[in-house]
Amino acid sequence: MSPAELQPYLYRHIPLSQAMKVRVESVSNESVVLTAPLAPNINHQATVFGGSASALAILSAWSLVRCRLLAEGLDAELVIQRNQVEYQRPINGTFRASSSWATPDQWDRFVRTLAKRGKGRVLVDAVLTQASEPVGAFSGAFVALR
């Protein structure tokens, strides 16, 4: 799935992404990068609302798994099982979430488990940045169900 395909998909299926004005910067089998501006995600302190930062990280990580499943022709429902976000400093401008696999060798095991049991779990990390500086870290577990 290309960035031009993923962005309307997110807007259509996850309306919060449109309200946040999420933009898809890049998509690959190893990473999905999303950005969002401050204005629709602002809080009372004139910084990014923590829920928006968390949501962008979740969207980036979820999109990585979803796009990889589609690229490999695997049809499965995908849900987040759990996540953790560490906020390292306030975000006062456009922010980015870049997802990646928590461990590079887990994909094959995930696909085998999904095929064998009809359910598989995969771990994804994401880094939140503003102006190329780290501002937060995300880790999450996603479950695919056939």
pLDDT digit string (tens) for 90-122?
Answer: 999 999 999 999 998 899 999 999 999 999 999
CB 90 within 8 A of CB 145: no
CA angle 55, 134, 51 (to 5 degrees): 20
What is the total count of domains within the chain? Answer: 1
Helices within 72-141 (DSSP H only): 106-117
- Rounded Cα distance between 118 and 122, Å, is 14
Residue range(s) defining the domain that contains residue 96 = 3-145
- The residue among 47, 146, 32 whose CA lies nearest residue 93 is 47
- What's the half-sphere exposure (Cβ side, CA atoms, 13 Å) at 44? 0
| pLDDT tens digits for range 4-16 | 999 999 999 999 9
Rounded distance between C-alpha atoms, residue 97 and residue 60, angstroms: 6
Identify the pLDDT of residue 73. 94
| Residue pLDDT, tens place only, 134-145 | 999 999 999 999
Whole-angstrom distance, CA of residue 104 vs CA of residue 106? 6
**Distance between CA atoms of residues 5 and 15, nearest Å:** 15
Average pLDDT rounded to a whole number, residues 51-70: 98
56 contacts 14 by C-beta, under 8 angstroms: no
CATH number at residue 21: 3.10.129.10
Q: What stretches of the chain adopt beta strand conformation (E)? A: 23-27, 32-36, 77-87, 95-101, 119-130, 133-145
% of the chain at pLDDT higher than 70: 100
Smallest Cα–Cα separation from 26: which of 5, 40, 55? 5
